[in-house]
Amino acid sequence: MKSCELILALDMESPDEARSLLKEIGPDLKWVKIGLQMFTGYGQEWVNEVAGLGFKIFLDLKLHDIPNTVAKAVQSLSYLPIDMLTIHSSGGIEMMSAANRVRLDLKPDLLLLGVTVLTTMNEAQLRRVGVPTTPQSQVHNLAGATVESGIPGLVCSAKELDILTPDYGDSLQFVTPGIRPSGSSADDQKRIVTPGQAAANGSNFIVVGRPIYQADSPRAAVQAINAELN
């Protein structure tokens, strides 16, 4: 089984709350995900601050627009101390290719990730937005487009890794949200697995949020997940 690393989804109400959480967890955590909630509220300064604390940054903005706009956004963000960045694979090969060209020119070590089907979505919800197929089939389709564009990583449910790794395991790194340790609430997630299952299925990184920061001891929760991964 290849190595799999934990990313904390830092979806907090305020920087003070997030600082307190990161201080409590301490050196057991390497990666932090900053998403729309905190980026729109506190901006690039917040990214710089968290990176300055020694954490590697996964900036999860799920960019989706015309190719030129997304490429320019990747250009602007490339000057930040980020290690991962998401765009929507459903934006198409042209959009993803434009973003990837900017990555190669300005920040080649950036792990650009194509987001496939959100882990809060199921087949009924896909059909409601005009995608008449299963989440698994749509994820596989978008994975192929992501590889064709040259983007090096994919965001998907760990439930889909068994159909992805045979075709794309040598081409892509996999980041899997929707992770819930045994006994945790599923919350709004539809397609969930445990940390150990995700690692066994071939995930390179797992993303966990509420089961950590809502735990009685977030540090103990992180330590338990790391132990399960290893």
Q: CA dist 109 to 3, 123, 141, Å?
A: 19, 35, 26
d(CA 193, CA 229): 13
φ/ψ (deg, to 5) at 154: -140, 140
Residues marked as catalytic:
62
Q: How many CB atoms lie within 10 A of CB 132?
A: 9
- At residue 195's C-alpha, the angle toward residues 122 and 89, to 5°, is 45
Cβ atoms within 10 Å, residue 38: 22
Alpha carbon distance 30, 5 (integer Å): 8
Picking from 63, 122, 128, the residue whose alpha carbon sits closest to that of residue 89 is 63
Neighbours of 120 (CB within 10 A): 13
d(CA 220, CA 228): 12
Cα–Cα distances (Å) from 47 to 32, 92, 106, 117, in that order, read 10, 28, 18, 26
